Structure 1
Amino acid sequence: MSKKHSKRYTALIKGHDKTKELALPEAIKLLKTKSNTKFPESMEAIFFLNIDKAKTDQNLRTVVDLPNGNGRKVKVAVICGNDKLSEAKSSGAEITGSEDLINEINSGKVNFDVLISTPDMMAKVGKLGKVLGPKGLMPNPKLGTVAKDIKSTVEAIKKGRIEIKCDKDGNLGLSIGKVKFSDKELSENFKSVYEVVSKEKPAGIKGNFINSIYLSTTMGPSIKLQLSSI
């Protein structure tokens, strides 16, 4: 049975050619004209990648710094030793603590989006694996969330550092900002993601790493990007 779309969506896709590839600037402009919801929509990028999810060395998980952020407010927590608490509290993090915060989290209180830990606390943070692991919130050196420099790490996350990772099908979807962002801001954010993803191509992959990329708004149609134009 085919999926039934709303009248709003049906009107948006009228005359829309899903097979036509557009250059990045054209795609952004066109999608903006098709955004008419009552809430601020996001502009989303979907990367279809040539990877084998069964091979762990091909799983993509890293971070990218969006130069203009993605319009989302992020609540940051920091676990550090008592000697670093003053720095943590002045860093801009909403939640800070040492063993007291570890105990809170272990009891099930997880009210943050990103958790940073200093290296010296990781032996104790390790016991939170069962709580944080399923939520994808465990501090990870590769993702920059195990760090000595608390202030610069919090600032980077607040400014627009986000984690990107493949889904169960080996593809990558993420927000590159709000539709209300300027074309330039959305383009800069997209290119930052594209550059990072391109550099993450696993050594074992032959041929193209990125098969195709689509842009869409939260509630709108998708547009296939012309890769040669990026």
Structure 2
Amino acid sequence: RVLVFAKGEQADVARQAGADFVGSDDLVQQIQGGWTGFDVAIATPDMMRDIGRLGKVLGPRGLMPSPKAGTVTTDVEDAVKGFKAGRIEVKNDKTGNLHLPVGKKSFESDKLRENFVSALNQITRMKPSGSKGRFVQRVFLTTTMGAGIKVDFVKETEK
């Protein structure tokens, strides 16, 4: 579910692109009241002043729009279509670990496995040509706050 903070013409473009929720001050009020019924929040740069006060609510949930993640943009149509098509945000830390979601608790086990294998295959295809040796060293699967389970990466991608 994609939420877009926009006004005027940009709001109309977001609706036409397929955004589930579009608004400005009304959405800010709803979110301040505790509502977070969306998966991605996209914003136009002019709305960031109003959205800034939502940082304490959206930040810990990873929903705060940011230019780095591509969720603060003037090209709302492409952003909405991208996230509706399944684009996800991949994060990495200073030790070279990649963090990416492959599903939700409500997903069927077959769908989770399909997403997981697809993500591994995509990461493998992104190997730079100058990189030598094994590109992916180890793979762990975990819930948001759970313990990690080591996955035999070679066997998973061959299935």
Calculate the TM-score normalised by the size of structure 2. 0.68
Say yes or no: does 1:175 pair with 2:102. Answer: yes
SS at match of 2:65: coil
- RMSD over aligned CA atoms reads 3.7
Structure 1 CA distance for aligned equivalents of residues 86 and 154 of structure 2? 26
Determine the structure 2 residue equivalent to 1:162: 88
SS at match of 1:93: coil
- Structure 1 counterpart of 2:45, from 97, 106, 119: 119
Cα pair distance change 1:186/1:164, threshold 3 Å:
closer
Say yes or no: does 1:226 pair with 2:151. Answer: no
Moved more, 133-142 or 80-89: 80-89
- Structure 2 counterpart of 1:142, from 65, 68, 80: 68
Determine the structure 1 residue equivalent to 2:121: 191
Letter in 2 for 1:144: G
Cα pair distance change 1:112/1:215, threshold 3 Å:
closer
Cα pair distance change 1:126/1:173, threshold 3 Å:
closer
Q: Specify the structure having the higher radius of gyration (Cα).
A: 1
SS at match of 1:211: coil
Letter in 1 for 2:110: V
Structure 1 CA distance for aligned equivalents of residues 85 and 123 of structure 2? 15
* Greater percentage in strand: 1
Say yes or no: does 1:211 pair with 2:137. Answer: yes
Cα pair distance change 1:85/1:127, threshold 3 Å:
same
Cα pair distance change 1:180/1:80, threshold 3 Å:
closer
RCO comparison, higher one (Cα < 8 Å, 6+): 1
Determine the structure 2 residue equivalent to 1:89: 15
Structure 2 CA distance for aligned equivalents of residues 136 and 182 of structure 1? 23
Gaps (5+ residues) in structure 2?
A: 143-148
Identical aligned residues as a percent: 35
SS at match of 2:52: helix
Whether the 8 Å CA contact 2:138–2:151 is kept in 1: the answer is no
CA displacement at 1:105 relative to structure 2? 1.3
